[in-house]
Amino acid sequence: MQKFLKLKSIPAHIPLMNIDTDMIIPKQFLKTIKRTGLGKSLFYEMRYDESGKIIDKFILNNEPYNKSKILIAGKNFGCGSSREHAPWALLDFGIKCVISTSFADIFYNNCFNNGILPIVIDEKSIGNLASYSERKEEIDIDLEEQKISYGNNKIEFKIDPSKKKRLLEGLDNIGISLKKIPRIEEFEISLKKDKPWI
């Protein structure tokens, strides 16, 4: 998993509430267990019509938003089923940060397991950032400082220290386990000394 330190991008704004995981990545694309290749199907039913043609008016189909690394969304983002393919699709498309007023709990935690920073801020701040999206201006995110910068303004956001550490160090669940190998080996050596018959 890549480390998340700072991010700078023109944000894409999708002002819809209750975007569920089936909207993020529809069920027909869940057959794979690979984390790559899902980006082209992100928001499939909003990005393509019934014949598979691109819907021009959808924001992620247009420059510069098709290269956005930051997504601004309505409240309760990521609700519905707990499919981990949802953060995989976002990340494969290039989105490394999602900003909303609230997230579904399972999706929120899945983001940290996959290197995506979910940020919770208030509705007024969402509106301020959305105006930057409309003007196609960049915003900056600094995870270490826990700040979003836009123009001369800053928004501070809260994050659990352990989740912050995971992103800063680029650690998924396996990475966290591997960091404990020295302690595990010490325990095994100690156990053999104390109980050689085991």
Of the candidates 152, 103, 129, the one whose C-alpha atom is nearest the C-alpha of residue 12 is 129
Domain annotation for the chain: domains and CATH numbers = 6-170 (3.20.19.10)
Q: Which band of pLDDT confidence, cut at 50, 70 and 90, is reported for residue 10?
A: very high
Q: Which band of pLDDT confidence, cut at 50, 70 and 90, is reported for residue 173?
A: low
User: Residues 38, 85: contact at Cβ < 8 Å?
Assistant: yes
- At 177-197, the pLDDT tens digits run 656 667 777 777 787 788 887
- At 50-89, the pLDDT tens digits run 999 999 999 999 999 999 999 999 999 999 988 899 999 9
| pTM exceeds cut of 0.85 | yes
* Buried b / exposed e along 93-115 (16+ C-beta atoms within 10 A): bbbbbbbbbbbbebbbbbbbbbb
At 175 the pLDDT is: 64
How many whole angstroms separate alpha carbon 112 and alpha carbon 53?
Answer: 33
At 161 the pLDDT is: 96
